[in-house]
Amino acid sequence: MMEVIPSIDLKGGRCVRLYQGDYAKETVFSDDPLGTAQRWESLGATRLHVVDLDGAASGEPHHLSVIAHMTATIRIPVQVGGGIRRMETIEQYVKAGVKRVVLGTAAVENPRLIEEACQVFGEAIVLGVDARDGFVAVRGWKDRTSVLAADMIEQMEALGAKRFIYTDVARDGTLTEPNFQAISELMTKTRAPIIASGGVTSVDHLVRLSQLGVEGAIIGRALYTGDILLDKAMAALKEEAPDSSRRATKDGGPC
């Protein structure tokens, strides 16, 4: 069954959601990141996606202690992204109990880091491909590059990347719908697992993503607004097509 992954975006110590990646358009949903993590775990989440938005903008981790407390308290695995551009930072997160470390900007600006990180940490490294109009966006989504998302995936696979998170920045936080066409096209470019993010607003969206064969779907604003109820969404996916995904999870599922 496709994994449904709640997102916790941290900014200034609080759980927020941005609109289309715009740091000036944030909505605060909670002042208690740990309580939020425990809530999603209690509703059946098998993994959490945590983004250090301050870290993404600055290039240095801002919420390491908060995330370490989270991993020490909850039982499900946590994957973290945002401003991770050095081996030392990856090591800090792994030591803090993070199961997957998501690299984005580093993939464009320092491909050698990606190669080294994949060699050292293997499946713990995930490549975040964040795109506007098909082109990769970096540094907290503020800067658009001339690199196509599909080309980046091909380049990073050659360097050892085994898993990707694809986010359509224009859909993120908008409560519209995922960019199904872009996701479908990317699925034809790689056999590596892809996790979809951005614009997931309904159970129907989740079912459609599952039918495309993505490994997982990250949900943010729709969970906080109640447009998607996590436990009901997971039940619907299980009933719809428990074995429909064409890709097996390479790390054996939740770790």
Supply the CATH number for residue 68's domain.
3.20.20.70
Decide: 197 and 227 in contact? Cβ < 8 Å: no
CA–CA gap between residue 48 and residue 246 (Å, rounded): 23
pLDDT value at residue 254: 37
CA–CA gap between residue 48 and residue 126 (Å, rounded): 14
From residue 86, how far is each of 61, 83, 162 by CA, in Å? Answer: 10, 9, 19
Token pair of 124 as six digits: 């713990």
pLDDT value at residue 177: 87
Decide: 29 and 146 in contact? Cβ < 8 Å: no
pLDDT value at residue 106: 77
pLDDT value at residue 102: 96
Query: Per the domain annotation, does 251 fall within a domain?
Result: no
pLDDT value at residue 135: 81
Catalytic residue, chosen from 52, 54, 130, 168, is: 130
Query: Per the domain annotation, does 75 fall within a domain?
Result: yes
Q: Would the pTM count as exceeding 0.85?
A: yes
pLDDT value at residue 37: 97
Token pair of 35 as six digits: 């309580």
Share of the chain above pLDDT 90, in %: 63
Catalytic residue, chosen from 9, 54, 168, 172, is: 9
SS3 24: strand
Residue 231's identity, in one-letter code, is D
Which positions of the chain have pLDDT values less than 50?
140, 244-255
Which is nearest to 135 in space by CA: 116, 150, 124, 121? Answer: 150
Active site (annotated) includes residue 143: no
Query: Per the domain annotation, does 245 fall within a domain?
Result: no
pLDDT value at residue 34: 96
Query: Per the domain annotation, does 64 fall within a domain?
Result: yes
pLDDT value at residue 28: 77
CA–CA gap between residue 231 and residue 154 (Å, rounded): 35
Query: Per the domain annotation, does 164 fall within a domain?
Result: yes
Query: Per the domain annotation, does 43 fall within a domain?
Result: yes
pLDDT value at residue 247: 46
Query: Per the domain annotation, does 249 fall within a domain?
Result: no
Helix-, strand-, coil-residue percentages of the chain, each rounded to 5: 40, 25, 35
Q: Which residue range forms the structural domain that includes residue 189?
A: 3-240
Query: Per the domain annotation, does 250 fall within a domain?
Result: no
Q: How many CA atoms lie within 13 A of 177 on its CB side?
A: 12
Number of domains in the chain: 1
Looking at the chain, the number of H-run helices and the number of E-run strands are 11, 12
Share of the chain above pLDDT 70, in %: 85
